[in-house]
Amino acid sequence: MKIKKVLLSAGVHGNEKTPIFLLKKFQKNSIPITRSNFKTEILIANPQAVKLHQRYLDVDLNRCFSSEKLDKPHPVKYEEIQAQAINRRVQESQIDLILDFHTTTSSNMGITLLLSNDHPFNLKLAAYLAEHNDLVRIVLNAEQKQNNRLRHLIPLGMTVEIGGIAPNVVDPVWVERLEYLVQQILEYLEQINQDRPPVTPKIITLYSLQEPVYFPTDDQGEIVAMVHPNLHGSDYSVLNPDEPMFIDLDGNNIYYSGETANILFVSESAYFEKQIAFYLATKKKISIE
């Protein structure tokens, strides 16, 4: 398999400024991103939201890439129009691989690779990155129903979440880390294209994303508890049955009653409006090839 065109995307959420800054750096050609055997394009996906320092204008752009929305004859919402335009560009430019960069705000997700699917190419690339970078963790959505993210436009690629980084902030430490990751990916692809694929581990650890856990609410739908301090900031750690997961307004613990799981996206600011406290995930080891 040869990769001819790679798309680097940022700004699907307009207030995630750190990857946008890096892609602007690439655009200024201060750092080469095209290699001998493939080309790299850059996309700032939601420029209006970037300008307004908002996550989105009308609706979350990263929920607009379902085939249903892409086929809508007369989209009205800004992000729905934008999603169709991006889809046209991806098809016309014959993009082979999408790398869509995002940031998490409160949750300490390090570098989280959200794979588009379990295609062996995606698994191997992820395995290579995890092997060479301690910050990297690999997540696969357990239920592949929601194919509405930018990464779902084509089979190869992933969303890369880095953080925590506050909204609208360009964090210089993370700019450097992400630049390093992009260079690792480009090197890997160059070698794949030269038919000398880098050695990748045969067994990889991945987190299979399960359902969200919601905050407890009162009759008016208002949140009445906070995430327990043991969990806050402890993304990827293990949550066992009977461990406290919330503290309510009276200072009482609320305990977890499910099966042992790992916790992801803990206290993620962008999920607060959906009243999601964190996600559960199952840690797995799988063989590849």
In the set 143, 251, 257, 289, which binds a second copy (CB under 8 A)?
A: 251
Please, which residue, 137 or 228, has the CB nearer to a second copy?
228
Q: Name the one range near a second copy by CB under 8 A: 150-158, 172-180, 192-200, 279-287.
A: 172-180
Going by C-alpha positions, the residue among 116, 112, 121, 95 that lies closest to residue 160 is 112
Please, which residue, 25 or 72, has the CB nearer to a second copy?
25
In the set 135, 169, 254, 286, which binds a second copy (CB under 8 A)?
A: 169
Please, which residue, 157 or 164, has the CB nearer to a second copy?
164
Q: Which two tokens stand for residue 37?
A: 């055997």
Q: How far apart are CA 86 and CA 63, in angstroms?
A: 13
Task: Scan residues 54-83 and list those touching a second copy (CB under 8 A).
Answer: none
Q: Which two tokens stand for residue 73?
A: 């004859």
The H or E element spanning position 208 is: strand 203-214
Binding to a second copy by residue 175, rule CB under 8 A?
Answer: yes
CB of 176 to a second copy, least distance (A): 7
Q: How far apart are CA 10 and CA 124, in angstroms?
A: 23
Please, which residue, 9 or 106, has the CB nearer to a second copy?
106
Q: Name the one range near a second copy by CB under 8 A: 27-35, 82-90, 92-100, 278-286.
A: 27-35
- Let me know if 20 is exposed, middle or buried by CB neighbors in 10 A (0-12, 13-18, 19+): buried
- Region of 221 please: left (phi>0), alpha (psi -120 to 50) or beta: left
In the set 1, 85, 238, 249, which binds a second copy (CB under 8 A)?
A: 249
Please, which residue, 53 or 202, has the CB nearer to a second copy?
53
Task: Scan residues 202-241 and list those touching a second copy (CB under 8 A).
Answer: 223, 226-229, 232-233
- DSSP secondary structure string, 121-165? HHHHHHHHHHHH-TTEEEEEES-TT---SGGGGSSSEEEEEEE--
Please, which residue, 172 or 241, has the CB nearer to a second copy?
172
Please, which residue, 119 or 232, has the CB nearer to a second copy?
232
SS3 sequence of 234-253: CCCCEECCCCEEEEECCCCE
In the set 269, 276, 283, 288, which binds a second copy (CB under 8 A)?
A: 269
In the set 34, 168, 184, 282, which binds a second copy (CB under 8 A)?
A: 168
Q: How far apart are CA 107 and CA 268, in angstroms?
A: 5
Binding to a second copy by residue 47, rule CB under 8 A?
Answer: no
CB of 104 to a second copy, least distance (A): 9
